[in-house]
Structure 1
Amino acid sequence: MKKFLSILTAALVLTASSCKKDYLELNKNPNAPSVTTPQLALAGALKTSADIVNGGGYVQYASWMGYLSWSTSFQANVALLSYQIQPTTYDIWTPLYQNITNYDALRKSTTEPYFQAISEIMTVFSYQALVDNYNNVAYTDATKGTAVLNPKYDKGSDVYDAILKRLDAAIVQIQTGQKAAIVPTSPGSSDVMYGGDMNKWLKFANTLKLRIALRQSNVAAKTAALKAAVAATQALGYIDNNSPAYVNPGYLNSDAFGGQQSPLWRNYGTTQNGGVQTNRNQYQANSYGATKLTANGDTRGPKVYTTTGANVITATALGVTTPPAVAPSKVGTGLLSSPTQSAIVISPSESYFLQAEGVKSGYITASTLTAQQAYNAGVTASFTYLGVAADAANYLTLNPYPVAGSDAVQQQAIINEKWKALAVYGAFEAFNEFRRTGYPNDIPLSVFPGANPPNQVTRIPYPQVEYTTNPGPVAGEGTISVFTSKIFWAK
C-alpha cells in the first residue's frame, strides 16, 4: 500500500470545458501528479468512484452471484470457476486506496465546506467498500504519507464505527453551510454527481448511513446504537427517484485515453467503432439470472440480457465450458443504453430496498413510506430504469410484499428483490447482502470440473501488493481462507 501514499491529487487531468477530448484523460504517474484545483480534483475523484463501482474489478462477484458466466468461447478462467483465488488474482485494494488519497488531498486543499463534506462522504463510501472486501484494513494510519510507511490495520468493526462518525460530521458541515450568512462556494458543475445540490448530498449521505447500519444487523451489540443513529437523521430523507446517485462527467463515445465511455459500457459494451469490449467477450448470461429475471411475470430478463429469436435468452451455468448451440446472450440494452449513459453509484431502487428493511426492522421510525410501499417503490424503480415500467404493477401483483409474513420472510422478500434490481451493475452489493443475509439462498456454485467448494466465497484475499510492501501488518491477519474467513458483519 505504501507505494500509493504519495498520490496527492485526483486521478484525472481535466480541462475547463467538458467538451475537450482530454476531459477523461487518466493521470498515469501517481508519483508526479498534475497540478489541479478543488473543482478538477472533485470531478476526477467522483469519476474514479464510478469507475470502481461499474468497472471490471467487481466482475467476479457478478459471476458468483449468478448474473454472468464465463464465456464458453474462451479458455476457462480457472481461478474464477474453481475458486483457486490467490493474492495475485484480484486487487480492489489499490484503486480504492488511491481514490481515498485523492479525496483526502481534496479535503486538505480547500477550506470550502461543501467540497470538504463531499470529500468526507465519498471517503466513507470507499472505506466501507474496503472493509466489505477485506474486513480489517489500514485506516488510522492510511493517509499519513511518508510519516507512516507501514500502516497498521484497524478492525473492520472499528472502521465502521469511525466512518459513521465522519458521515455525521459531514452532514453537520453541509447543514451549517446552508445556514451560514455567507453561502459557501457551490461545487457546481465540478460535482459530476449532483451538480452542487447539497440537499441531494444530504440524502446520499443518509442513505449511505442506513446502508452502513443495516450491514451490521447481525452484530447484536451494536443494534440499539445503530437504530438511534439512523433515527437521528431520518428526517433528511433518502435517495429517491428525484435524487439518483448517478455520475456523468461528460462521457464520450471515444476510445481515446483508455476509453471515455461510461464505465459499465466500457466494461460490457462496445468500442467507438463497434468492436467488442473485453468483458463482453469474456462473459455471457448466467442461466440462474436468466431464469430468475424471467419467472413469475418478470420482464426484466430481456433487458438485462440480449435476446435472440422470440425474445429468448441463451444462458449457461457458471463453469460450463461447452458453447451452446445458439450464440449466448450478453449484457443487454436495459443496462447498456448508451456509451454516454450516467454511471450508477447508488440507485433509487437500492435505496428503496434499504428503506424497506429499515422500516421493517425498526431502524427508521418515522417514514412517509411503509415497508410495503418502499418495497413496491424499489421494484418499480428497477423496472423503470430497465425500460419496462408498464410491467411493474403486474409483477407486484404476482410477487407482493408479504405483509403478514414473519420478519425472516419479509427480509427474504426484500433481499431477493434487491438481488434482481442490482443485476450486473450492483454485483458487489448483491454479494454483500448475500453474505449478510444468506439470500438468495439458491445461487448455485460453479459446475466447472474439479471445482469442489464447501460453500460460496466468503471474501477475497489481501492483494499481493500488501504482502510485498506492507508485510508486517498483513501477516498479522494470519491465513485468509476464501471459504471460511468472514467480514465481521457476515452471517
Structure 2
Amino acid sequence: MKKFLTILVATLAISAGSCKKDYLELATNPNAPSSSTPGAALTGALKTTADIINGGGFTMYAAWDGYLSWSTGFQANVALLSYQITSATYDVWSPLYLNISNYNALYNQTTDASYRAMAEVMTVYDYQALVDNYNNVAYGDAIKGVSVLNPTYEKGSDVYDKLLVRLDAAIKSLQTLSAGAQTANSADIMYNGNMTKWLKFANTLKLRLALRQSNVSGKTAALKAAVAATQASGYIDESAPAAVNPGYLNSDANNGQQSPLWRNYGYTQNGGAQANNNQYQANSYAATKLTSDGDTRGFRVYTLTGGNIISTPFGGTTPPSSPPSKVGPGILQAATMSAFIMSPAEALFLQAEGVQFGYITSSTSTAAALYAAGIKASFTYDGATGVDNYISQHAYPAGGGAAALQAIINEKWKALAIFGALESFNELRRTGYPNDVPLSIYPGANPPNQVTRIPYPSVEYATNANVVAGEGTINVFTSKIFWAK
C-alpha cells in the first residue's frame, strides 16, 4: 500500500463553513483555490476527483439506470422515485468546478511539464462531466476569480470542441515526457509519475469525447481524423487502469479515510452501514440481467441471502420477505480499494466501438476481440466465474452495425454496474441501450420517459441568475445534452 498521505491546507470558509474537513481536501471556494506545493495540490485534486466520481453525487443515476432501488425500509425519496427534480435536488456542478479550480491552480503554480500535463488532462475530464450533466456550461469565463463573477455559458458542443484541442496539447506534451526517463512520483496517486500511462489515459479520454458525439453527424469525419492522429499513443487496459489510491485506510478519522465507493455504499470502520448502504438495495432489473444467460456477476455485485439476490423493482414500496440485497463484495472489495477514474472494461469497450465504427484502425485487434476483453476485465474485477461460457453465449454480432453497438453498450452497462453509474447513464442517453431499463413504478410517478438531464443547481440561480436564466426552463424529460439520442 502506498504511504498514507496527510495534507494540511488552509480553507476559505464560505457557506459550508460548518462542514467537516475531508482528508486531502483542497479549496471550498473556486475563486480562491488552496495554496500548496505542486505535489500536494496534485494529490489532493486527484483524490477529490475520485471522491466525486465514486461518492454519493451520482447515486441517482445508479437508480435511474436500473442498478439500485430505494430501500423499502425507508420513507420514500419522492424526488428520486417520482422525478420531482428541482434546482435544489442535485448539485454536481459545485464539486466539479471546485475540482477544476484546484487543477487550474496547480497548472499556474508550476512550470513542470509533467504536473501541467496531468492537470490539463484532469481538467478536461472534469469539464466533460459537467457538460454530460448540464449541457451548456461556463468554460472560457470560468475559474477567473473575482475578475469574472458572472461567467457566461457556452454551448456543450463548443465546449467539447475546445476540450479536444486542449487534450491534444496535453497529449503532445505527454508524448515528449513519455519518451524520456521516468521516475516515480508519489504525489501522483493514479500512475505514480508514469507519463506513458498518463498518455494512454489521455488518449482514451479523447476517444470517449469523440464517441460521445456519435449522434452529431456533422462532426463525424473530423472526429475520426482527430482520433486517428493519436491512436499510436495507445489506450488503457487492465495493465494501466485509471485508478486513484492515496493510501486509503479503514478509518473514520478526518471525515473518513476509506475508499470513496466504500464510504458511499459500504461500512464504517466499526462495521456500521453507511447512509447509502441503508438507503439503497438491489434493483430487480439488474439482479435479473446480471444472473441470466450464464452471467454470474450479479452474485458478486450484490450481497446474497441464502444464496439468492433479494431485490425490488425501482419505485416499489412493498418490502421483500427477506432482508434485501445490498452492494456486494465484487464492487465493495475493501475499505482500502483503489477508486476508478476510468475502468479497464470501460476503456476496452470504447476501443471496441472505436474499431467497429472506424474511429480506430487496428491490425492487431478486432472489435470482437476488444469486446471479449472488456467482458473478461469486468468478470475479473467483480471476481465472477464462468467468463468463457458467458462469452460463448454472447458472441459479438457478425454483421456489425446497430447490433454491434447494442451488444457493446449492453455489455458496458453490465461492466459498469453501480460504480460507473454516470458513464452507463450517459451511454443510455446517447444510444438508448439497454433499451428495456424500467422506469419508476412509484404510485403517481407516471414518467413519460427516462430522465434526460438534471437542472442547474440552486447556487447558480442565486449567484449567476441572469446567465442561467438565459438557458430557459430546464425540463428533466425533454431537455437534452447535445449528444443525446
**Bucket of the pairwise TM-score, normalised by the shorter protein:** over 0.9
Of 235, 238, 245, the residue aligned with 1:238 is 235
Distance 1:163 1:202 in 2: 16
Residue matched to 2:15: none
| 2:212 aligned with 1:219 | no
* Cα separation, partners in 2 of 1:178 and 1:383, compared to 1, 3 Å: closer
User: Does the 8 A contact of 1:14 with 1:23 survive in 2?
Assistant: no
Shift of 1:305: 0.2
Distance 1:356 1:74 in 2: 41
Of 459, 465, 473, the residue aligned with 1:471 is 465
Shift of 1:33: 6.0
| 2:201 aligned with 1:208 | no
Shift of 1:172: 0.8
Tell me the secondary structure at the aligned position of residue 26 of structure 1: coil
Shift of 1:369: 1.3
Distance 1:169 1:86 in 2: 38
Q: Which amino acid aligns with 1:300?
A: R
Residue matched to 2:346: 350
Shift of 1:147: 0.8
Tell me the secondary structure at the aligned position of residue 159 of structure 2: helix
Shift of 1:13: 6.1
Tell me the secondary structure at the aligned position of residue 442 of structure 1: coil
Residue matched to 1:26: 25
Q: Which amino acid aligns with 1:216?
A: Q
The sequence identity of aligned pairs, in percent, is 67
Deviations 1:143-165 (A, max 9, x none): 21111110000000000000000
Distance 1:219 1:483 in 2: 20
Shift of 1:35: 3.9
Shift of 1:25: 4.5
1:432-451 mapped onto 2 (5 Å cutoff): 432-451=426-445
Tell me the secondary structure at the aligned position of residue 80 of structure 1: helix
Residue matched to 2:451: 457
User: Does the 8 A contact of 1:25 with 1:257 survive in 2?
Assistant: no
1:180-195 mapped onto 2 (5 Å cutoff): 188-195=185-192
Distance 1:15 1:303 in 2: 38
Residue matched to 1:159: 159
Deviations 1:337-390 (A, max 9, x none): 1000000110110011000100000000135210000000000000000112x4
User: Does the 8 A contact of 2:314 with 2:440 survive in 1?
Assistant: yes
Tell me the secondary structure at the aligned position of residue 196 of structure 1: coil
1:259-298 mapped onto 2 (5 Å cutoff): 259-298=256-295
| 2:379 aligned with 1:383 | yes
| 2:135 aligned with 1:135 | yes
Residue matched to 2:314: 318
Deviations 1:443-486 (A, max 9, x none): 00000000011100000000000000001110000000000000
Q: Which amino acid aligns with 2:256?
A: G
1:325-364 mapped onto 2 (5 Å cutoff): 325-364=321-360
Q: What do you get for the CA RMSD once the two structures are aligned?
A: 1.7
Residue matched to 2:365: 369
Tell me the secondary structure at the aligned position of residue 235 of structure 2: coil
Distance 2:400 2:340 in 1: 33
Of 243, 247, 251, the residue aligned with 2:244 is 247
Distance 2:392 2:334 in 1: 32
User: Does the 8 A contact of 2:309 with 2:324 survive in 1?
Assistant: yes
Deviations 1:194-243 (A, max 9, x none): 00000000000000000000000000000000000001111111111100
Shift of 1:406: 4.3
Flag structure 1 segments of 5+ consecutive residues without an equivalent. Answer: 1-11, 17-21
Flag as ranges the 4+ runs of structure 1 deviating above 3 A: 25-35, 177-180
1:39-78 mapped onto 2 (5 Å cutoff): 39-78=39-78
User: Does the 8 A contact of 2:26 with 2:45 survive in 1?
Assistant: no
Q: Which amino acid aligns with 1:175?
A: Q
Of 391, 398, 412, the residue aligned with 1:396 is 391
Q: How many residues align?
A: 469
Shift of 1:56: 0.2
TM-score when normalising by structure 1: 0.93
Deviations 1:265-298 (A, max 9, x none): 0000000000100000000000000000000000
Distance 1:239 1:148 in 2: 38
| 2:474 aligned with 1:480 | yes
Shift of 1:174: 1.7
User: Does the 8 A contact of 2:26 with 2:102 survive in 1?
Assistant: no
* Cα separation, partners in 2 of 1:429 and 1:26, compared to 1, 3 Å: same
Tell me the secondary structure at the aligned position of residue 190 of structure 1: coil
Shift of 1:187: 6.8
Residue matched to 1:14: 7
Tell me the secondary structure at the aligned position of residue 189 of structure 1: coil
User: Does the 8 A contact of 2:26 with 2:44 survive in 1?
Assistant: no
Tell me the secondary structure at the aligned position of residue 340 of structure 2: strand
User: Does the 8 A contact of 1:26 with 1:257 survive in 2?
Assistant: no
Q: Which amino acid aligns with 2:367?
A: A
User: Does the 8 A contact of 1:41 with 1:106 survive in 2?
Assistant: yes
Q: Which amino acid aligns with 1:427?
A: A
Distance 1:483 1:373 in 2: 37
Deviations 1:21-67 (A, max 9, x none): x9925357548765410000000000001111101000000000000
Tell me the secondary structure at the aligned position of residue 96 of structure 2: helix
Shift of 1:176: 2.6
